[in-house]
Amino acid sequence: MRGGYLLLGCVAAVLFLSCRGAAADSLVHRYTVGAFEVILLSEGAAERDTSLFVGASPEQVRKYVPTGTYVTATNAFLVRMPDRLVLVDTGYGRELFKNLKSVGVEPEQIDAVLLTHMHGDHIGGLVRDGKPAFPKAAIFVAQQERDYWTSEEIMNTFPVDKRGGFKNSMAVMAACGSAVRTFDPVADEDAELLPGVRPIAAFGHTPGHTLYMVDSNGSRLLIWGDLTHASAIQMPAPEVAMTYDTDPAMAIASRLAVLKYVAENNIPVAGMHVPLPGMGTVSAADAGYVFTPVP
């Protein structure tokens, strides 16, 4: 028992996922996946309105978001392995360093950062004062993702006021330099990037959006990045997309495939925009799915 945390023991079928719960509004939540500890590092929660939805019917909006707003969050995850420390995304970088410190981790100790994609709320913590925030870390990103967000040619097809994401990505990749390691999550889907970590392509939200399956001693956890942004409507109606999906139709297809896979295989999931505690299980219900948070 660590620091007064209560062992709640959340079990999903044969998969063992335990959580040491903290208050729901805590910025740090800890879970056990085999020999790994997975720690949610929250950048905070927010309410958003339904104007961000693409393809939601008025009936769906009334049914699933009756108040007109829904709760979302921004999370990063630290995976503490017996022999290395791995970050999955870095949030905006607002609370990240304070959160890391609160679990006894200094940025210099991080061995690897895995990026799900290159939006600012995922790569914001990679660079501090123009320098790599994690000086020892290899930065893993899908080649398709890196190539898209660092292409001036693609950037120039967008209006000037829509180029910020490209410019930010270019600056971050330049600052990280030779620490960046690209991979192809389609060709290398079954290959381990690190011991116990496999990439899964789920393109659509962005051109190289990648999920990470964490696997230790037969226990698994899928860290699914931005597979959902608005759980309230996208779980019961996964065919609703978001205005910030690069390719909404592809994002929907990826979401449907992943939800089916984790529901059928009882694989616990964690998401960057899943409201706290940010982790849970998925089961099929009616035409969509239900998300059950860990207790």
- Chain positions contacting Zn ion, by CB under 5 A: 119, 121, 226
Residue written as token pair 């799915």? 289
Name the minimum Å distance from CB 232 to Zn ion.
Answer: 16
Angstrom distance (rounded) from CA 37 to CA 186: 27
Name the minimum Å distance from CB 23 to Zn ion.
Answer: 24
37 or 121: CB nearest Zn ion: 121
Give the 3-state secondary structure percentages of the chain, helix then strand then coil, rounded to 5. 25, 35, 40
Angstrom distance (rounded) from CA 206 to CA 203: 6
Rg for the chain, CA atoms, rounded? 18
81 or 269: CB nearest Zn ion: 269
Q: Which H or E element spans position 30?
A: strand 28-33
Name the minimum Å distance from CB 91 to Zn ion.
Answer: 9
34 or 165: CB nearest Zn ion: 165
- 170 exposure class (CB count in 10 Å sphere: 0-12, 13-18, 19+): middle
What does the angle CA 28 – CA 267 – CA 213 come to, to the nearest 5 degrees? 70
37 or 89: CB nearest Zn ion: 89
Name the minimum Å distance from CB 225 to Zn ion.
Answer: 7
Name the minimum Å distance from CB 281 to Zn ion.
Answer: 22
206 or 281: CB nearest Zn ion: 206
165 within 8 A of 173, measured Cβ to Cβ: no
**What six digits make up the tokens of 209?**
């959006």
